C-alpha cells in the first residue's frame, strides 16, 4: 500500500553507522513521509482518539471483549494486519507504515501491548516461517482478528535464555501428534487468544516452535497475573499437560526454533521503540497541558525555568529516538530490492539491522521512562493519583525495559553482534579500529568542517572513533573472553547507542536544513546541539570506565589522554537552546520539530 520515499535505494550494512558517514539522501526521517504514510498516521491517530481512548477504563478493568472488538475494528481499518501479505487478507504495508502505526496508536499502554502481541509477535512467526498450508489455514483469520494470536517463549526459569526451555515435546507413538509438557510464563493475550506460537525442546535438545490452538487437548491457561502496569492486557501462564499438537503444526524446521525466536524479537524491538516514541509524545502533551493550567506563586508553572528545562529535555529525548526509529525502518525498506515483497526477503532485511533494533529498543524504553517520570514530577502530588494520566503512564512504561529481551540482554547483543560481525568479516570493524588507532596516535587533525552544524559533525565523528577505540582496547585485552565481561560489554553498548543517537539526530537536522534553510530549522538544530552535548559527556564517562578496566600504568594514562582529546569540544549554551525548545513546544502544546 504505502511505499517509502527514500531515494536513491541504496542498501547500507547493519552497524555501518559506526564506521562511515551515511549519505543524507539515503537517510529516512519523519520529514520524508509520503502521502500514504501521512494518511496511515492520521488513520491510526484517529482510531486511538475516537475508539481507543473512550474505552480505556473498560480495557483497564480487563473487559477482554472490548479489547477483541477494538482489535477487530483496527483490522477492518488495516491497522493490525499491516505486515500480513495481501493474498492472506492483510493490508501489506511497508515497514515505515508499520512503525507509523505503532507510534500513533500508542495512547493506551495496555491496548498497545495486546495489539503488538497479536499483530506482531503473534502473527509474524506464521508470516515469516509458516508453510503454505499453515498460512492458508490461519493467516486470513488472524489478519481479520477473527483469531487473536499470542507468542509463548518465556519460562519461569529462563526468561531471557530462550534456548534453555524446560517445556518438552515428544512424538506420539502413532506419529500423528507431538505431546507437549511444561509451563510458559507471562504470556500476553493469554486469556483471550486463540492461537499460540509455543516453543518447546524436542527430544531434549531441539528447540522447536509449534502452532497451538486454545482448544487442543491438554492446553489450559493459568490465573491472570496481578501486575504493576499494563493492567488492561491479559498476562497469564500457559499450562501444557500432555498437550496434543498435530505434527502439521510444527512451525518452521525442527530444531530451528531459536531462529524464529530471534527474528521475531527483532521486529518486536523496532515496533516497541516506535511505540515508546508515541507513548512519550502523549505524555509530554499531558505534561504541557497541566503545566500551562497549574498556577503557583502568581503564574503558571510552565513559566518556571526548571519546569521548562524538563519539558525541553523530554522533547529532545523524543526527537532523538524518533530519528533513530525511522532511520532504522528506512534502512530496512532500502535493503529490499525494488518490488520485492516476499516474506523471506523482508525477514532478511529486518535481520540485517538487528543491532539497530536492539539500540532503539533500549533507547526508546529508557527515554519513555524518563519522560513519564518527569511528567509525574510536573503533576506533583496529582501525578500519584489514579484520576490523572501521569500515574498510569508511569506504571505502564516500566515493562518496556523487560519486554523483547531485557535491556541488559540487548546491551550484550549490541556489543556481541558488532564484534561477531567484525570477526566474520561481514562488518569492517577491525580495520576501522586499527585505522582509528593509527590516526589518533599520529596526532590531532586540523581539518575543519564547514557548513551547518560543523562543530557537531566533528563531535559525532570523534564519538564514533571513541567507541571504536574503546571496543578495540577491550577486545585486545580479553579477546574471545570479552563476552564474559558484562560490565565492559554494557559500557561499550552504551557508547554505541549514543553514537547512533547522535549520528541520527545530526543527519536528520542536516537534511532538514538542506531542505528548509537554517532559519526554518532552528528547532531541530537546537535539539540536535543539546542532545549531542549531553551525549558526548555520557560517552566520555563510559570510555574512561572501560579504559580503566582494561589498561593500567602508562598504557592507561596514554589511552585516557586520547579519550580526553577525542571528547574535547567547545561547550554550547545548553540553557539558551533548551529555552528555545521549551518555548516552542509549550506554545504548541505538544512535541513538534518546527
Which residues have a catalytic role annotated? 404
Q: What is the CA radius of gyration of the chain?
A: 24
- Euclidean distance between CA atoms 589 and 592, whole angstroms: 9
Print burial letters for 434-468: b (CB count within 10 Å at least 16), e (below 16).
eebbeebeeeeeeeeeeebbeebbbbbbbbbbbbb
SS3 245: strand
C-alpha 83/C-alpha 75 separation (Å) is 11
Residue with cell 492483510: 90
Count CA atoms closer than 13 A to 332's CA, side-chain side.
Answer: 31
- Strand-pairing partners, residue 179, are 170, 244
Asked if 44 and 101 touch (Cβ cutoff 8 Å), the reply is yes
Residue 146: which residues within 8 A CB-CB, separation 6 or more?
72
> If DSSP states are collapsed to H, E and C, what string results for 149-167?
EEEECCCCCCCCCHHHCCC
Task: Output b/e per residue, 488-524; b: 16+ Cβ within 10 A.
Answer: bbbbbbbbbbbbbbbbbbbbbbbbbbeeeeeeebbbb
Rounded to the nearest 10°, the torsion over CA 47, 53, 54, 57 is: 140
Amino acid at each position: 500500500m504505502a511505499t517509502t520515499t527514500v531515494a536513491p535505494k541504496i542498501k547500507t550494512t547493519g552497524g555501518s553507522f559506526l564506521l562511515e558517514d551515511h549519505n543524507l539522501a539515503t537517510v529516512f526521517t519523519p520529514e520524508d513521509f509520503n502521502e500514504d504514510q501521512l494518511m496511515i498516521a492520521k488513520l491510526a491517530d484517529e482510531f486511538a482518539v475516537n475508539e481507543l481512548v473512550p474505552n480505556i477504563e473498560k480495557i483497564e478493568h480487563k473487559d477482554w471483549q472490548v479489547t477483541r472488538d477494538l482489535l477487530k475494528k483496527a483490522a477492518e481499518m488495516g491497522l493490525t494486519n499491516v505486515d500480513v501479505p495481501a493474498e492472506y487478507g492483510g493490508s501489506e504495508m511497508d515497514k515505515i507504515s508499520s512503525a507509523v502505526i505503532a507510534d500513533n496508536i500508542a495512547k493506551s499502554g495496555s491496548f498497545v501491548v495486546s495489539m503488538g502481541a497479536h499483530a506482531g509477535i503473534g502473527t509474524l512467526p506464521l508470516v515469516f516461517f509458516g508453510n503454505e498450508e499453515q498460512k492458508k489455514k490461519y493467516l486470513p483469520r488472524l489478519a481479520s482478528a477473527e483469531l487473536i494470536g499470542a507468542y509463548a517463549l518465556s519460562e519461569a526459569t529462563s526468561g531471557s535464555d530462550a534456548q534453555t526451555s524446560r517445556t518438552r515435546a515428544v512424538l506420539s507413538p502413532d506419529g500423528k501428534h507431538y505431546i507437549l509438557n511444561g509451563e510458559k510464563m507471562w504470556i500476553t493475550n493469554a486469556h483471550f487468544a486463540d492461537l499460540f506460537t509455543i516453543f518447546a525442546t524436542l527430544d531434549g535438545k531441539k528447540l522447536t516452535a509449534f502452532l497451538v490452538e486454545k482448544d487442543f487437548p491438554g492446553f489450559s491457561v493459568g490465573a491472570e497475573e496481578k501486575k504493576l502496569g499494563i493492567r488492561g492486557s491479559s498476562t497469564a501462564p500457559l499450562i501444557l499437560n500432555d498437550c496434543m499438537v498435530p505434527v502439521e503444526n510444527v512451525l518452521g524446521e525442527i530444531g530451528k526454533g531459536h531462529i524464529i525466536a530471534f527474528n521475531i524479537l527483532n521486529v518486536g524491538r523496532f515496533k516497541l521503540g516506535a511505540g515508546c516514541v508515541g507513548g512519550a509524545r502523549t505524555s509530554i502533551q499531558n505534561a504541557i497541558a497541566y503545566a500551562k493550567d497549574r498556577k503557583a506563586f502568581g503564574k503558571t508553572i510552565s513559566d518556571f525555568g526548571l519546569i521548562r528545562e524538563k519539558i525541553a529535555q523530554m522533547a529532545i529525548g523524543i526527537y532523538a529516538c524518533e530519528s533513530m526509529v525511522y532511520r532504522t525502518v528506512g534502512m530496512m525498506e532500502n535493503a529490499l530490492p525494488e518490488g520485492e515483497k516476499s516474506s523471506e526477503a523482508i525477514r532478511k532485511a529486518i535481520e540485517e539491522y538487528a543491532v539497530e533494533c536492539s539500540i532503539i529498543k533500549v533507547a526508546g524504553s529508557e527515554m519513555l521512562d524518563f519522560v513519564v517520570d518527569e511528567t509525574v514530577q510536573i503533576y506533583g502530588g496529582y501525578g500519584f493519583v489514579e484520576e490523572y494520566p501521569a500515574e498510569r503512564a508511569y506504571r505502564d512504561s516500566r515493562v518496556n525495559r523487560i519486554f523483547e529481551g531485557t535491556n541488559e540482554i540487548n546491551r550484550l547483543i549490541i556489543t556481541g553482534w558488532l564484534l561477531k560481525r567484525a570477526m566474520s568479516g561481514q562488518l569492517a570493524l577491525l580495520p576501522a579500529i586499527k585505522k582509528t588507532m593509527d590516526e589518533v596516535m599520529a596526532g590531532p587533525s586540523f581539518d575543519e568542517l564547514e557548513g551547518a552544524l560543523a562543530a557537531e559533525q566533528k563531535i559525532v565523528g570523534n564519538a564514533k572513533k571513541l567507541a571504536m577505540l574503546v571496543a578495540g582496547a577491550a577486545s585486545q585485552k580479553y579477546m574471545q573472553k570479552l563476552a564474559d565481561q558484562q560490565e565492559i560489554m554494557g559500557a561499550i553498548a552504551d557508547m554505541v547507542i549514543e553514537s547512533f543517537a547522535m549520528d541520527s539526530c545530526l543527519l536528520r537536522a542536516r537534511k532538514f536544513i538542506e531542505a528548509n534553510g537554517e532559519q526554518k530549522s532552528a528547532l531541530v538544530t537546537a535539539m540536535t546541539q543539546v542532545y549531542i552535548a549531553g551525549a558526548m559527556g555520557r560517552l566520555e564517562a563510559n570510555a574512561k570506565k572501560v579504559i580503566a578496566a582494561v589498561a593500567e600504568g602508562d598504557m592507561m594514562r596514554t589511552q585516557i589522554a586520547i579519550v580526553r582529546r577525542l571528547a574535547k569540544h567547545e561547550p554550547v549554551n545548553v540553557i539558551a537552546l533548551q529555552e528555545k525548545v521549551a518555548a516552542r513546544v509549550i506554545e504548541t502544546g505538544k512535541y513538534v520539530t518546527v
